[in-house]
Structure 1
Amino acid sequence: MTATVTATIDAAVSALKGGEIQWSRTDLAARRRLLEQIHANTARHAQEWIEAAARIKKLTADSPLLGEEWVSGPYSLLTGAAALAESLLALEQGHSPVDGYPMRPAPGGRTAVDVFPHGIFDALLLNGFRAEVWSRPGVDAESVRARAGLGQRTPTDTGGVGVVLGAGNIFSIAPLDVLYQLYADNRVVALKLNPITDPLLPVLEKIFAPMIERGFLRLITGGPEVGSALVNHPGVDAVHITGSALTHDAIVFGTGAEAEQNRAANTPKLTKPITSELGGVSPTIVVPGRWSRADLRFQAEHLATQRLHNNGYNCIAAQVAVVSADWPQKEQFLAELRAALGRAPQRPDYYPGSADRVAAARRTYPQAQAIGARTLIEGMAPDRHEPALHTEYFAPVLGVLELPGAPAEFLARAVRVCNEEIEGTLGANILAHPATIKRLGERFESAVAELRYGTIAINAWTGLGYLTARASWGAFPGHTLADIQSGIGVVHNALLIAEPERTVVRGPFRPAPRSLLHGEFSLSPKPPWFVTNRTGATTLRRLTDFATKPRIAALPGIFASALRG
């Protein structure tokens, strides 16, 4: 590493040390106003953000896939900043951030906090979708209320300088991680951008200018050597990474022989605290039932979206569909799944190594089917040596794992396999007919409680949990540095709930108007994030504009576009 780079890092950390003193002197009202400024700047520079994202991901200006960039970029930061500002206002006024949010007992002595919908606009825009954050076992509602606020309960007691190693796939991840370090952990931040996202630097500098000017944030670019120097700088107190378990382990234990020695001695090379969000292999459990032809087609498109959003370059992308070998409609569903994978818009492989990972999957599985640039692997078994259950391909590769059993037996077996045989605990999806859920009753709810995942989506995609600012996002608790799986800690969590265990998202099994015809009280049409949605880019751009200034006048345009999808 050059002397110039060393000097740059030293200067950044030194400035942040001074900024920490100023942060400790910044009261809650001033911290809230900073969030409001970031919100306004995000709105002002949203189009510039999207143009940079399109260049990075090689998308044309009229690509329908730009909807993904609107919703997982500016929209996510707008809603995250607004929700955090609301929590700080509650603390300013002497309240808990969760005051006014319904709570109820959840299985296993947990407490569930209803975090979505929050207000009439949420209920209208995503009608029929719900999300709740579950506490860990033994935590009652009063404890949740008393502890919510995290670092903002004692704002003068700061946490030093934190380093955020940014992700290169979803462009709101790094900005939201910065906000979590600042507000949940109450520390100033050096954000090291992933080199893929370097073209976004000018946009982020404009959005975060109020934080940068006051010494609360520094943005740094460079390769792995810069990240390593930052992480190991003596002036840095904590680290957060979004990435792969391999990168995490290299930071914590080193590489090569050094890593082997450190692991054997259980002596990490990194001695400062590190939190992480690391992805894994995410499953979608397809519970057998009596589905109409329209149901089969819709849920096949749903599963295709769970895999193909951002071309599969998502830590939460579904990689394994778990289906019943005894489901009479299994072959119909798989035929619809193949068709949905083929209908989805083709796109460039912008993420490094994607083609190599696809090729490796096809070499490993000679029976794999090439559907355009996508790969479908059927005939997998619940085996600890099944590569697709343990290797996050981070590419458009989807496997199908068949297990025996009618609904109750199949679901119990699927939960056990997901918990014990599949790598990672970030998120799991369940697709199930409402009649089947009703028939299973408590057995279905017990299965949800038994799944050890940080986000569980029922007839929805766990990606919606990522987009829900007040939901927690991270691995299921309990991982260690030596067995990191999907990471340690959470982010987002705009209500600043202390040590949440999981987020549970529920959605409608059918889109409107079919949902209404079948007794599901949901007005939501085909979700705009579906890769097969024809108007997704327009709808999600309008939704982002709405998030800049929520207002009734904007709703008709959003609804009109959504209904055409």
Structure 2
Amino acid sequence: MSTMEYDKLYVAGDWRTPAGSDRIDVRSATTEEKIGSVPEGVEADIDAAVDSARRAFDGPDSWGNWEPARRQEVLLRFADELEKRGPETASRVSQQNGMPIVVAEAFEIPFPPLLLRYYSQLVVDQADERRPGMLGGTAVIRRQPIGVVAAIVPWNVPQGITFLKIAPALAAGCTVVLKPAPETVLDAFLMAEAAVAAGLPEGVLNIVPGGRELGAYLVEHPGVDKVSFTGSTAAGRAIAETCGRLLRPVTLELGGKSAAIVLDDADLLGNIESFFASTLLNNGQICWLGTRILAPQNRYSEVVDTIAGLASNLVIGDPLERTTQIGPLVSARQRDRVESYIAKGSADGGRLAAGGGRPADRDKGWFVQPTVFADVDPNHTIAQEEIFGPVLAVIPYSDEAQAVQIANDTDYGLGGSVWTADMERGEAFARKVRTGTIGVNHYVNDPTAPFGGIKSSGMGRELGPEGLVAFQTLQTIYLPPAAAN
């Protein structure tokens, strides 16, 4: 099988010979075979990328000083080039992280160009605000690009999450140094090819792959003005400490342990596809999934049986097959992590209602069966810690007050869902849950609405106009009464 090999990094608007000699080998999550490799960035590559981004931002014809409509022309070409490569992008993502191809086609193909078009138009439509002063005169409020952005993204939805950051950043007039995760670099290099074809100006976007140490070096680089990070809560805390010391703005989208609350009138079978998408999508490798299922005691056995039936009947297989609903996990290390939580769930007294092992017909690939635990106490480890795999914990509750208490009794607050036959009841319940986002009878990140978490799930928001504000700074110009007239 031929592999995808890259020898250079995308820095300063072109392909640049890396400063180091080490490489990142990428393996198929399904076959465990090598499918490609790219250069592994070193600190000198980050220096070059930041310097390039700095020049593109500070130069006489800087990207941030372009008229928004001029930037929009470039970003629309970028969107078009990404669309041309959409099927290949989806295929690369599926091979690398095990995302079922139908999910990759729904997330990784449409979202990047959609976000580029959305945010570039949002900036075109922005205008300076003029406020009458209370002391006379006028205040003019300008929105300006914040500067050079360090964007660090994870492997689970690599292109979708990348463009949550770089689409608003580029539209605002910022320049970007992107560090993709080592597990999913082949899609990032395909995206770089689209940037070259679109004619992004030199230094506006730079891509340097590497591990945690390289990410830490980028975060504290003196040439960076803003950090946007998606990943684990532990890594997010370390980044927050660095940015706090440097007084550097930071957006953090971190872990989750969201609750899917089944009310006593819910029709789970009638909403089973939406329920699957809200709890087990992408093999459980999404931070906002509702992995704690709260079920009323008077319907507990029925709910457990329904969810166990769902998990047991999902099609496990090659993520490139269109019938596959559950593919492999991203790596052997991730599978080991998930399996350790399954063992812990059983040791703590949880009852396995479905799954719990590896598929018998798969001797290659990092597969884990969709697993459902019943009789889970809210304080059990599998009910409190993020697992990031296809493992659900079903927790009973006596009444709505207890359901709210259990839903909120977590260090996290990112996503969630409420399931009910009464939409008004569902919305009213949703308002009681302490979380950044929550859905009623479904869950979807709509591009027009802010997404992010509270507590250990992070700080700041992406998507919506709020996602653009994160890459802008405000300047106020005070005009005296005479000037105002």
2:460 is aligned to 489
Q: Which residue of 2 aligns with 1:164?
A: 151
2:377 is matched with 381
- Partner residue, 2:111: 76
Give the secondary structure class of the aligned counterpart of 2:413: coil
1:470 aligns with 2:466: no
- Higher mean alpha-carbon deviation, 175-184 vs 334-343, is at 175-184
Matching residue's letter, 1:18:
R
CA deviations over 1:68-125 (Å, ceiling 9, x no partner): 0011102111221222233234237x899xxxxxxxxxxxxxxxxxxxxxxxxxxxxx
Contact 1:301–1:340 (CA under 8 A) maintained in structure 2? no
Distance 1:497 1:417, change over 3 A: farther
The AA in structure 2 aligned to 1:14 is D
* 1:10 CA drift (Å): 1.6
Q: Tell me the residue number matched to 1:123.
A: none
Q: Are 1:310 and 2:278 counterparts?
A: no
Cα distance in 1 for residues equivalent to 2:273 and 2:78:
36
Give the C-alpha shift of residue 198 in structure 1. 1.0
* Paired residues for 1:104-253 under 5 Å: 154=142, 157-171=144-158, 172-183=160-171, 186-209=173-196, 210=198, 212-253=200-241
User: Which residue number in structure 1 is paired with residue 85 of structure 2?
Assistant: 45
Structure-2 residue corresponding to 1:449: 431
Q: Name the counterpart of 2:363.
A: none
Give a deviation string over 1:32-75, Cα, whole Å, max 9, x none: 2122112211111112212212321357xxxxx31100111021
Partner of residue 555, structure 1: none
In structure 2, distance between residues paired with 1:16 and 1:177: 15
Quote the Cα distance in structure 2 between the aligned partners of 1:280 and 1:496: 20
8 Å CA contact 2:64–2:145 kept in 1: the answer is: yes
| Aligned counterparts of 1:195 and 1:95: Cα–Cα separation in 2 | 43
What is the CA-CA distance between 1:269 and the residue it aligns to? 5.5
Secondary structure in 2 matching 1:196: coil
Return the alpha-carbon distance in structure 1 between the equivalents of residues 164 and 332 of structure 2.
Answer: 23
Distance 1:208 1:471 in 2: 27
Instruction: Structure 2: give runs of 5+ residues left out of the alignment.
Output: 1-17, 21-41, 132-140, 317-326, 360-368, 471-485
- SS for the counterpart of 1:16 is helix
Alpha-carbon spacing, 1:7–1:445, altered in 2? closer, same or farther (3 Å): closer
Residue in structure 1 matched with residue 324 of structure 2 by the alignment: none
1-side partners of 2:93 and 2:50: how far apart?
A: 29
Give the distance between the partners of 2:201 and 2:394, measured in 1 at CA: 51
- Equivalent position of 2:315 in the other structure: 345
Equivalent position of 2:419 in the other structure: 431
Q: Which amino acid aligns with 1:167?
A: P
Change over 3 Å in CA distance of 1:57–1:382 after alignment to 2: closer
Summarize the alignment of residues 388-427 of structure 1 with structure 2, pairs less than 5 Å apart: 388-405=382-399, 410=400, 412-419=401-408, 421-427=409-415
Counterpart residue number, 2:5: none
Q: Distance in 1 between matches of 2:344 and 2:212?
A: 30
For residues 202 and 339 of structure 1, what CA distance do their matches in structure 2 show? Answer: 40
Residue type of the alignment partner of 1:459 = N
Change (3 A) 1:88 1:249: closer
**Contact 2:52 2:202 (C-alpha < 8 Å) held by counterparts:** no
Q: Which amino acid aligns with 1:188?
A: T
Instruction: State how far apart, in whole Å, the 2-side matches of 1:296 and 1:348 are.
Output: 26
With over 3 angstroms needed to count, the CA separation of the structure-2 counterparts of 1:219 and 1:154, relative to structure 1, is: farther
TM-score by structure 1 length?
A: 0.64
Evaluate the alpha carbon distance shift between residue 239 and residue 189 of structure 1 in structure 2; reply closer, same or farther with a 3 A threshold: same
Counterpart code for 1:397: V
Displacement of 1:246: 1.1
Q: CA deviation at 1:300?
A: 4.2
Aligned pair partner of 1:277 in 243, 247, 253? 253
Cα distance in 1 for residues equivalent to 2:468 and 2:185: 32
Partner AA of 1:486 in structure 2: S
User: Do the aligned partners of residues 191 and 496 (structure 1) sit closer, same or farther apart at CA in structure 2, a change above 3 Å counting?
Assistant: closer
Q: Do the aligned residues in 2 keep the contact of 1:358 with 1:375 (CA within 8 Å)?
A: no
- 1:251 aligned counterpart, secondary structure: helix
Structure 1 unaligned regions, length at least 5 = 60-64, 97-141, 143-152, 255-266, 480-484, 500-565
> Secondary structure at the residue paired with 2:298?
coil
- What residue identity is the alignment partner of 2:374? E
- 1:359 and 1:496 map into 2 onto residues whose CA distance is 36
What corresponds to 1:24 in structure 2? 64
Q: State how far apart, in whole Å, the 2-side matches of 1:201 and 1:76 are.
A: 15
SS of 2:110's equivalent in the other structure is: helix
Q: 1:303·1:337 contact (CA, 8 Å) conserved in 2?
A: no
> Following TM superposition, by how much is the alpha carbon of 1:6 offset from its aligned partner in structure 2, in angstroms?
3.0
1:323 equivalenced with 2:300 (yes/no):
no
- Partner of 1:240: helix, strand, or coil? strand
Shift of 1:432: 0.4
Match status 1:355 vs 2:344: no
1:520-548 deviations in whole A, cap 9, x for unaligned? xxxxxxxxxxxxxxxxxxxxxxxxxxxxx
Task: Check conservation: 2:68, 2:120, Cα contact below 8 A.
Answer: no
What is the identity, as a one-letter code, of the residue corresponding to 2:449? A
Amino acid at match of 2:214: V
Distance in 1, matches of 2:223 and 2:268, equals 56
Distance in 2 between residues matched to 1:167 and 1:58, nearest whole Å: 14
CA-to-aligned-CA distance 1:289-329 (integer Å, 9 cap, x gap): 2x6xxx442334433332221100101122100111123xx
Question: For this pair of structures, how many residues does the alignment match?
Answer: 392
Amino acid at match of 1:394: F
Q: Distance in 1 between matches of 2:121 and 2:250?
A: 28
Which 4+ stretches in 1 moved above 4 angstroms?
267-271, 494-499
RMSD, matched Cα = 2.8
1:253-306 Cα shifts (integer Å, max 9, x gaps): 48xxxxxxxxxxxx96655222110021011000002x6xxx442334433332
Cα deviations by residue, 1:213-248 (Å, 9 ceiling, x for unpaired)? 332111111222221221121111221110000111
Q: How far is the alpha carbon of 1:352 from its aligned partner?
A: 5.0
CA distance in structure 2 between the aligned counterparts of 1:162 and 1:469, rounded to whole angstroms: 21
CA contact (8 A) 1:300 1:333 kept: no
Look up the match of 1:56.
Answer: 96
Tell me the equivalent position of 2:36: none
- The one-letter amino acid of 1:35's match is L
Identity %: 23
Q: Aligned letter for 1:358?
A: V
TM-score of the superposed pair, with normalisation by structure 2:
0.74
Once residues 387 and 48 of structure 1 are traced to their aligned partners in structure 2, the CA distance between those partners, rounded to angstroms, is 39
Which residue in the other structure is 1:7 paired with? 44
Corresponding letter in the other structure for 1:11: A
User: What amino acid is aligned across from residue 302 of structure 1 in structure 2?
Assistant: S
Indicate the structure with greater helix content: 1
Q: Compared with structure 1, are the counterparts of its residues 183 and 217 closer, same or farther at alpha carbon in structure 2 (3 Å cutoff)?
A: same
Residue 498 of structure 1: how far off its partner (Å): 5.7
- What is the correspondence of 1:531-542 to structure 2 with a 5 Å cutoff? none
Report how far residue 396 of structure 1 moved. Answer: 0.8
Answer whether contact 1:320 1:401 (CA < 8 A) is retained. Answer: yes
Deviation for aligned residue 1:496: 5.7
